[in-house]
């Protein structure tokens, strides 16, 4: 019986003779793209053989003998040509990478390259260009303290230096090629900076293919994951598009490649033991150590790009705890995982030691400590099982032992070094923004905007992939709980961590995008297999040997159900992204033209502040201010515009996008001088005091500061907007009954007198001139109602008065308190305003955004403060 089964099996795996008789030339001509040459078929047979061996269908002896026969026949078969090596997978991968590059470079091209201007994204991107510009004059030194922002203090810089160095080095090369050498020009720097995020984003798409392929050992999942990511909108697209010259693309790239090489290392370290290290068995050690070193290098580059890189170290440690526990319960050695983890964690602190030890920017001992603790965790996780085994402690107690060790360790750190404990765990505060920080769009939670629940942000960032990814995460979690395969466990932990980070701050969506693409790719392939595509693919490999077989195969074996499931996957995972992605890509992230024009005017028509733009400066000692030269001055604007003031005007802003110089409420009813307290000040004397304290000479306003961004200023200055405007509704009788609607079509806000008295409104809307209201003063009465836990105001009466005085007299005559003066439009004041004495309008940008009561309202205005 045994021999008969053996012969039957051998016959089943015996290759067909016609395949083996093909010459190399014939092989190269038959179905190049489908890899159906004799060599490919023999390799497929080896894969099938290996699968049956793992399933226990054949013995090891039979497996080894037949495998050797196939490999011998492969060696005897003539090697194929270059074309025959091209597989359909490679063709599709190249097409996906090309699509990612097209979306990121070709679509936004016309919006970024406008005449002689390269419209680099505003905010942090232009500041990176400022850093590169400074670095090429002092190469390789980069500033970590900049007096050209946040006057009169200057600012320590939290940006890592790697992005600056990469752009600077490439700019030197490009300048040598197109400009004859020397220090790169601003245009060369901007050109390199504009392209780097798009190229980096394309590389992330490529890396995602390899990550998914390594995790699931399935190139199909890799391809679908890469395709989904290539067309994904939202934070990932916006950070990896032409012109967005920011370090975030390096975060995504090096974070993803860290995971890639770590997975490759742990997969190849499953048989690795500490004995191999002690015996220096390099044949066993070299491959896992090589990938561990690559993972460490990528994590080190990540750390040099952004001080928050220990977040990924934390993800790896959490994964390690889970995997060690699972391996211990299943009596599987974790020596390889320990060796890989420790090797990986050695590299980052060494690579960044030169800036960590100097304590520049936001780099400090926490970074060294985090990786040292990571190495210790791997050691403890490896030692504890051995101690438990010697003490005959049940394996089921392992998780509780780890919890006890962790609690004792953290408790000891808190007791004996509370400062160290605080610096280590204080970094997690970035995931829990509060107060004024919640006015920053990218910092707001994914499902809350302005304090209200919304699905809009999630849709514009991920469309359907968020929900499909969550389903896939549950599926993956079920698989992990059953099998605890190391790559899948790491994917699950990695995905949960990035999901929680994104839910707390939507900007971390650029991390989550990679995870959702992989999870959605996994779900999509499972759906295709459920629809019969898996069996169809296997049949395809067996029956299609050249192009003439393809049409016959399609007509005979491809059914309507196969087509429908492919269409379903495309509709679920690809189509929802396309419209949003294409529209967003075409507009690009460039600086506003009116702001650019205003700042160029300022650079050449205002006094130089007397600070060397290209200088290298040392940070002042803690508690001390930077010593500015006599005559130095600053420019007041909202913090959003601080970096473009530095870069395009070469002037020093009081506030910047590091959220420095914003100001706010101080102790005992005082105020902290800053942008928010200046622009919301309702009397000129207070505003003047703020500018005097901050050494300000010019003020720049724009229309959004006086309208859409006003609520952010008020929130920073006072905690809320209740002093400046409120939300009101009116009752309306309809056939369905009484309903509430906004007081104005689509706009429930009425503006209070202090809104019009605020400095930003007086400057930008009314040009600092005197205003006497004429038939624009409304008086309303209202009542507050409660629906559940929501309180709202309903207008019960309204009356228009010809003068402000008449309105005040009317309110004074009322017995009830719920009367107040309001304005219906932010552009028409209901209260008289005195002309500002110390502010002179010196510039208005060309774009007119409105004509109100004979006044032209321009996009951007510059005022000179004259004490």
> pLDDT by residue (tens digit) across 719-761?
999 999 999 999 888 887 778 888 887 788 999 999 999 999 9
Mean pLDDT of 602-616: 96
DSSP structural state of residue 738: E
Q: How many helices (H) and strands (E) does the chain have?
A: 38, 20
The pLDDT value recorded for residue 1 is 42
575/623: higher pLDDT = 575
Residues 6+ apart with CB under 8 A from 315: 493, 494, 497
In the predicted structure, residue 685 carries a pLDDT above the cut 90: yes
> pLDDT by residue (tens digit) across 1-29?
444 444 444 444 444 433 333 333 333 33
Q: CA-CA distance, 58 to 10, in Å (whole number)?
A: 11
DSSP structural state of residue 621: P
> What is the pTM for the complete model shown?
0.84
Strand partners, 733: 738
Mean pLDDT of 229-252: 96
Mean pLDDT of 201-219: 97
N residues, the chain:
867
Lowest mean pLDDT among 35-44, 55-64, 158-167, 220-229: 35-44
Question: What number of other Cβ atoms are within 10 A of residue 814's Cβ?
Answer: 11
Has domain 633-865 been given CATH number 3.40.50.800?
Answer: no
Mean pLDDT of 156-181: 93
Mean pLDDT of 549-576: 88
> pLDDT by residue (tens digit) across 48-67?
888 787 777 788 778 788 87
Q: Are 112 and 244 in contact (CB under 8 A)?
A: no
> pLDDT by residue (tens digit) across 773-800?
999 999 999 999 988 778 889 999 999 9
The pLDDT value recorded for residue 811 is 94
Residues 6+ apart with CB under 8 A from 68: none
Lowest mean pLDDT among 84-93, 146-155, 667-676: 84-93
Q: Are 91 and 33 in contact (CB under 8 A)?
A: yes
The pLDDT value recorded for residue 365 is 79
211/394: higher pLDDT = 211
Furthest-apart CA pair in the chain: how many Å? 112
Place of tokens 């100097």: 358
User: If you write DSSP's letter for every residue of 766-833 in order, what string do you get?
Assistant: TTT--B--SS-EEEEEEEEEEETTEEEEEEEEEEEESSHHHHHHHHHT-SSS-EEEEBS-TTS-SS-B
Q: CA-CA distance, 456 to 450, in Å (whole number)?
A: 12
Closest CA to 158 of 148, 145, 169: 145
Burial class (CB in 10 A: 0-12, 13-18, 19+), 45: buried
637/333: higher pLDDT = 637
DSSP structural state of residue 437: G
SS3 at position 434 = coil
SS3 at position 409 = helix
Q: Are 126 and 657 in contact (CB under 8 A)?
A: no
In the predicted structure, residue 534 carries a pLDDT above the cut 70: yes
Phi, psi dihedrals of residue 251, rounded to the nearest 5° = -55, -50
How far does the chain reach from its first CA to its final CA, in angstroms? 107
Is there a cis peptide before residue 140, judged by omega within 30 degrees of 0? yes
Lowest mean pLDDT among 72-81, 200-209, 279-288, 516-525: 72-81
Lowest mean pLDDT among 267-276, 413-422, 724-733: 413-422
233/36: higher pLDDT = 233
Q: Are 147 and 154 in contact (CB under 8 A)?
A: yes
The helix (H) or strand (E) run that includes residue 664 is strand 664-665
Closest CA to 378 of 428, 318, 310: 318
Q: CA-CA distance, 710 to 484, in Å (whole number)?
A: 52
Residues 6+ apart with CB under 8 A from 385: 324, 328, 334, 398
Closest CA to 126 of 194, 174, 182: 194
> pLDDT by residue (tens digit) across 451-502?
677 888 889 999 999 999 999 999 999 999 998 899 999 999 999 999 998 9
Q: CA-CA distance, 258 to 295, in Å (whole number)?
A: 5
Percent of the chain, pLDDT > 90? 62
């Amino acid at each position: 019986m045994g021999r008969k089964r053996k012969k039957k099996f051998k016959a089943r795996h015996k290759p067909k003779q016609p395949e083996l008789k093909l010459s190399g030339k014939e092989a190269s001509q038959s179905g190049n793209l489908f890899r159906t040459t004799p060599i490919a078929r023999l390799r497929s047979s080896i894969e099938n053989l290996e699968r049956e061996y793992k399933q226990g269908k054949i013995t090891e002896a039979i497996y080894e003998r037949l495998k050797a026969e196939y490999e011998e026949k492969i060696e005897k078969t003539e090697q194929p040509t270059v074309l025959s090596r091209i597989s359909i997978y490679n063709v599709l991968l190249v097409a996906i990478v090309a699509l990612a590059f097209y979306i990121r470079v070709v679509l936004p091209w016309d919006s970024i390259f406008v005449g002689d201007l390269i419209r680099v994204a505003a905010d942090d991107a232009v500041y990176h260009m400022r850093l590169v510009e400074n670095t090429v004059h002092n190469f390789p030194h980069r500033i970590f303290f900049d007096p050209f922002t946040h006057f009169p203090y200057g600012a320590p810089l939290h940006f890592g230096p790697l992005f600056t160095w990469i752009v600077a080095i490439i700019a030197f090369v490009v300048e040598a090629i197109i400009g004859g050498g020397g220090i790169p020009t601003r245009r060369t720097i901007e050109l390199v900076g504009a392209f780097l995020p798009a190229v980096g984003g394309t590389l992330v798409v490529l890396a995602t293919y390899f990550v998914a392929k390594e995790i699931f050992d399935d190139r199909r999942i890799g391809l679908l994951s890469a395709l989904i990511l290539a067309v994904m909108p939202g934070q990932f697209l916006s950070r990896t598009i032409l012109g967005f010259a920011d370090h975030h693309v390096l975060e995504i790239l090096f974070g993803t490649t860290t995971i890639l090489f770590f997975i490759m290392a742990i997969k190849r370290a499953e048989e690795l033991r500490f004995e191999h290290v002690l015996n220096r068995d390099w044949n066993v050690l070299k491959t896992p150590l090589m990938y561990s070193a690559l993972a460490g290098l990528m994590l080190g580059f990540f750390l040099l790009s952004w001080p928050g890189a220990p977040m990924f170290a934390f993800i790896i440690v959490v994964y390690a705890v889970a995997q060690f526990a699972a391996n211990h319960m299943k009596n599987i050695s974790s020596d390889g995982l320990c060796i890989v983890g420790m090797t990986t964690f050695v590299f980052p602190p060494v690579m960044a030691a030169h800036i960590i030890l100097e304590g520049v920017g936001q780099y400090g001992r926490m970074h060294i400590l985090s990786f040292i603790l990571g190495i210790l965790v791997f050691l403890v996780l490896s030692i504890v099982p051995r101690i438990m085994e010697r003490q005959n402690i049940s394996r089921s107690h392992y998780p509780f032992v780890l919890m006890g060790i962790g609690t004792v360790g953290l408790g000891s750190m808190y007791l004996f070094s509370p400062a160290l404990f605080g610096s280590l765990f204080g970094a997690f505060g970035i995931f829990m923004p509060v107060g004024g920080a919640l006015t920053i769009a990218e910092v707001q939670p994914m499902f809350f905007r302005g304090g209200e629940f919304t699905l809009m942000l999630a849709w514009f960032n991920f469309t359907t992939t968020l929900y499909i990814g969550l389903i896939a995460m549950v599926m993956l979690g079920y698989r992990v709980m059953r099998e605890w395969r190391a790559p899948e466990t790491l994917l699950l932990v990695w995905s949960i961590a990035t999901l929680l980070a994104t839910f707390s701050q939507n900007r971390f969506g650029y991390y989550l995008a990679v995870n959702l693409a992989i999870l959605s790719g996994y779900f999509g392939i499972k759906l295709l297999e459920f629809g019969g595509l898996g069996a169809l693919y296997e049949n395809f490999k067996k029956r299609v040997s050249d192009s003439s077989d393809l049409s016959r195969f399609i007509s005979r074996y491809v059914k309507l159900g196969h087509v429908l499931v492919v269409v379903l996957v495309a509709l679920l995972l690809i189509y929802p992204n396309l419209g949003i992605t294409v529209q967003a890509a075409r507009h690009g992230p460039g600086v506003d033209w009116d702001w650019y024009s205003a700042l160029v005017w300022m650079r050449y028509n205002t006094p130089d502040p007397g600070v060397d733009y290209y200088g290298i400066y040392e940070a002042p000692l803690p508690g001390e201010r930077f010593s500015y030269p006599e005559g130095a001055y600053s420019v007041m604007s909202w913090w959003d515009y601080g970096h473009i003031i530095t870069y395009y005007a070469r002037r020093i802003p009081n506030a910047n996008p590091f959220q420095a110089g914003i100001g706010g409420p101080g102790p005992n009813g005082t105020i902290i001088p800053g942008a928010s307290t200046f622009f919301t000040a309702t009397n000129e004397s207070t505003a003047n005091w703020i500018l005097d304290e901050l050494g300000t000479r010019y003020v720049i306003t724009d229309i959004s500061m006086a309208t859409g961004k006003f609520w952010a200023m008020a929130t920073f200055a006072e905690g809320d907007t209740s002093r400046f405007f409120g939300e009101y509704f009116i009752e309306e009788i309809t056939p369905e009954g009484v309903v509430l609607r906004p007081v104005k079509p689509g706009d429930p806000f009425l503006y209070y007198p202090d809104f019009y008295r605020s400095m930003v409104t007086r400057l930008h809307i009314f040009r600092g001139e005197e205003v006497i209201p004429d038939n624009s003063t409304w008086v309303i009465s209202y009542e507050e109602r409660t629906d559940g836990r929501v309180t709202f105001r309903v207008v019960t009466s309204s009356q228009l008065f010809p003068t402000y005085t008449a309105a005040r007299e009317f309110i004074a005559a009322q017995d009830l308190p719920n009367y107040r003066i309001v304005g219906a439009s932010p552009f028409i004041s209901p209260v008289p305003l005195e002309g500002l004495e110390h502010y002179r309008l010196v510039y208005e940008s060309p774009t007119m955004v409105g004509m109100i009561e004979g006044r032209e309202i321009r996009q951007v205005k510059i005022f000179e403060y004259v004490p």
